[in-house]
């Protein structure tokens, strides 16, 4: 596996952007200069993250999320420069 996290990643196994190998290494997200810990999905090229909104659930039992746009910088937690 390379030292760069994937361009797009999701934590839900049903998503086509789910990557078990990357998640097992621990992917951190720096969004607009601040490290976020509640990111459920991100895209570097499109410049957005999805974060959970409180403890609210949707009709399928998944966390409700909102999309935030800005500068996304993923990093592996075991390899932070």
Q: Could you tell me which residues are beta bridge partners of residue 35?
A: 30
Whole-angstrom Cα distance, residue 51 to residue 35?
12
Kindly list the domain boundaries of the chain, sorted by start residue.
8-76
- In angstroms, rounded to a whole number, what is the distance separating the alpha carbons of residues 28 and 72? 10
Note the pTM of the prediction, 2 decimals.
Answer: 0.86
The whole-number pLDDT of residue 29 equals: 95
40 phi and psi angles, rounded to 5 deg: -100, -30
> From the first residue on, what is the mean pLDDT of each consecutive set of 10 residues in the chain (81 residues)?
85 94 92 94 96 91 93 84 51
Spatial distance between the Cα atoms of 47 and 13, rounded to a whole number of angstroms: 22
Q: Which residues contact 20 (CB under 8 A, 6 or more apart)?
A: none
């Amino acid at each position: 596996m390379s030292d760069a996290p994937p361009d797009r990643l999701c934590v839900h196994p049903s998503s086509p952007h789910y990557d078990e190998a990357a998640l097992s290494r621990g992917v951190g997200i720096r969004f607009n200069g601040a490290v976020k810990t509640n990111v459920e999905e991100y895209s570097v090229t499109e410049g957005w993250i999805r974060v959970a909104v409180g403890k609210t659930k949707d009709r399928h039992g998944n966390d409700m999320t909102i999309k935030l746009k800005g500068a996304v910088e993923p990093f592996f937690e075991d390899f932070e420069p």
